[in-house]
Amino acid sequence: MKRAQVLTIAGSDSGGGAGIQADLKTFQELGVFGTSVLTAVTAQNTRGVHGVEAVSAELLAQQLDAIGSDFSIEACKTGMLFDASRIETVASGVKRHAFKQLVVDPVMIAKGGASLLQDTAVEALKTALLPLATVVTPNVPEAEVLAGLTIRSFQDRLEAAERILALGAKAVVLKGGHLEGERAEDLVLTASEAFLVSAPRIDTLDTHGTGCTFSAALTAELAKGRPMIEATVTAKRFIQSAITYGLEIGTGHGPTNHWAYGMHGEEGVTLETITTSRAR
């Protein structure tokens, strides 16, 4: 059976809950073949990030060329990119090898609060990488940085998503996990459509790597040829199961359960279409 080939360009999490480790686990569970390009190595566990060391820009470029010259990548995603130089190296490699369907997870801050993206890199992210993106998947704090506004209301979320879309991405999934309410509600915005995808909020500390896992699931589904909204709903269901059936590993923010979707199936995800000024 032929499997879609996908790529994660991200950092390594020694604790196994986020980064390329989470991405490769997700790819495997969703039936695609995962390859990886390492941007940085972290000393990390459920209690936080204790050290970060970036891979050289030269080795980063070599990894991208090794993958691009031998694999047929149907979709790729970025995670932790560290700084402007490495963002530009990644953007160059994505263009050089014409990698399809780029999912940008704009990783900026770890669960424990450690910065994973230098302040000077935000502009490079906006100008070099987002114009190449099929979809960008910020959480609320990341969206505030990218859009340059404070998000409090639903209208703020719409405005932020509009501003991020204007940076060149074809779609935005503005995740609602940092907001309050009984349901975790994600806003999906494209040039012509807007949707809300929501699921019950789970009271748990087992949330390390949720953003990485969600964006990896989205990448896997896009690689299979799924339309954007169908891929987003499956990714939401995957991460909802992973959070619901926590593993209780570690003494801090524990990892999600990447086996859960295959074992327990879909969990309480609903889809609602909304009307915005952008809809045609």
Q: List the catalytic residues.
A: 175, 207, 209-212
The pair of three-digit structure tokens given for residue 63, joined into one six-digit string: 């990894």
Sheet containing strand 48-54, strands side by side: 48-54, 33-45, 5-13, 73-78, 102-104, 135-136, 171-174, 183-190, 194-200, 270-273
Going by the DSSP 8-state scheme, the letter that residue 208 receives in this structure is: B
Question: Taking the mean position of all CA atoms in its chain, how far away is CA 260?
Answer: 19
**Region label for 209, one of left (φ > 0), alpha (ψ between -120 and 50) or beta (otherwise):** left
Going by the DSSP 8-state scheme, the letter that residue 55 receives in this structure is: P
Which residues make Cβ contacts (< 8 Å) with residue 74, sequence separation at least 6?
Answer: 4, 5, 6, 32, 100, 101, 222, 223, 224
* Helix %, strand %, coil % of the chain (to 5): 35, 25, 40
The pair of three-digit structure tokens given for residue 253, joined into one six-digit string: 């923010």
3-state class (DSSP) for residue 96: helix
Residues facing residue 12 across a β-bridge: 41
